Amino acid sequence: MAQIFHHSTNTIARVSIYGAVLLLLLLGYTVDVVNNSSYVTEVHNARPQPVPFSHKHHVGELGLDCRYCHASVEVSSSAGMPPTQTCMTCHSQIWTGAAMLEPVRASYRDSVPISWTRVNAVPDFVYFNHSIHVAKGVGCTTCHGPIAEMNITWRQESLYMRWCLECHNAPENYLRPRSEVFNSFYRAPKNQQELGLRLMKEYKVQKLTNCTTCHR
């Protein structure tokens, strides 16, 4: 009787069997890649803003202190976003005519707030507190990246829990002296390890990894 299957079927069968295994592995890998891609994490995606505010200019070139705008960073969970008022303290004097700043002036004029696009966000079930991190010697740029070089602000880190734990498990690798916290040009010293360990003692830094530290 006639052959049902062509000879090649054997090969096809083998290939598909081994292929299936490979395919599964590949799938897992892809998921991981996608999860860590900037598509999902938004890392390094400069977000368009109503006003093209440049940290590079204000922080990097003019050397404004972070706290000038993010005023509540030392006292509250939220670092605080500057009210239009804050922008106008300077921009009622300089660049008063700049078209780029029209939205700011408009906002001030008509008392309509500017709605910025959020760059760094954690899910609602995560309760992050800026003030305590700052108080314990975690620098702004440790999480927010080289802010002084960002023309349009982007997210530097994935903000995944995995990432948070890197520091919560080993703070010594990231801590800096309190005096340097708001220094946007800070570079970790060679002896970060020992410095970190010293600061941990000095600032009574704990390795808080229990869940309710962040989730409530």
Q: Are 135 and 202 in contact (CB under 8 A)?
A: no
Shortest Cβ distance from residue 72 to another protein (Å)?
A: 5
Q: Assign 43 to helix, strand or coil.
A: strand
Q: How far is CA 182 from the centre of its chain?
A: 16
Q: How far is CA 176 from the centre of its chain?
A: 18
Give me the residues that bind another protein (CB under 8 A), please: 4-5, 9-10, 13, 28, 31-32, 34-36, 39-40, 42, 47, 72, 75-78, 80-86, 107-108, 111-118, 121, 123-125, 127, 129, 131-132, 135-136, 158, 160-162, 165, 204, 210-213, 215-216
Shortest Cβ distance from residue 76 to another protein (Å)?
A: 4
Nearer residue to another protein within complex by CB, 100 or 165? 165
Spatial distance between the Cα atoms of 154 and 118, rounded to a whole number of angstroms? 10
DSSP type of residue 4: S
Spatial distance between the Cα atoms of 192 and 174, rounded to a whole number of angstroms? 8
Nearer residue to another protein within complex by CB, 86 or 192? 86
Nearer residue to another protein within complex by CB, 5 or 190? 5
Q: Are 85 and 114 in contact (CB under 8 A)?
A: no
Shortest Cβ distance from residue 173 to another protein (Å)?
A: 16
Nearer residue to another protein within complex by CB, 61 or 102? 102
Shortest Cβ distance from residue 187 to another protein (Å)?
A: 26
Nearer residue to another protein within complex by CB, 190 or 204? 204
> Minimal CA–CA distance to 192: which of 177, 172, 178?
172
